[in-house]
Amino acid sequence: MSTLHTVNKSAFERNSLDSCLSVVKADASVLLIEDAVVCALKNTSICDSIEKAAESGIKFFALREDLKARGLSEQRILDQITLVDYSGFVDLVTQNDRVQNWL
């Protein structure tokens, strides 16, 4: 019984990702969409929290279309994060038992 968490706000200005990571279970998936894709970048002030959570088993995804919109190339994305497109988003929803949207 797993949960998909989606985050759509930048962690540089909102605490949505922090709140998400504070309650997320080790078997959960976290999908970064919209402005939250900026959290997926390497060498940032917030990447430690994602790297630490990924170590504990949480799976991270980011929406490719939102990265492309913002000119953020795949090479800039943390190795722990898998890129998905909109159909991959749908797959994640169907593979999990519920979706928690951290709006």
Angle, helices 16-23 vs 47-55, to 10°: value is 20
For the bound state, the minimum distance from the C-beta of residue 76 to other proteins, rounded and expressed in Å, comes to 7
CB of 31 closer than 8 Å to CB of 61: yes
Q: Quick check: 52 binds other proteins (CB under 8 A)?
A: no
Backbone angles phi, psi at 41, to 5 degrees: -70, 150
Size of the site for other proteins (CB under 8 A): 23
Beta strand spans in the chain (E):
3-7, 29-32, 59-63, 81-84, 98-102
Of the residues 17, 50, 66, 81, which one makes contact with other proteins according to CB under 8 A = 66
Tell me whether residue 12 or residue 98 sits nearer to other proteins (CB atom). 12
**Binding residues vs other proteins (CB under 8 A):** 8-10, 12-13, 34-35, 38, 41-45, 47, 65-66, 68-73, 76
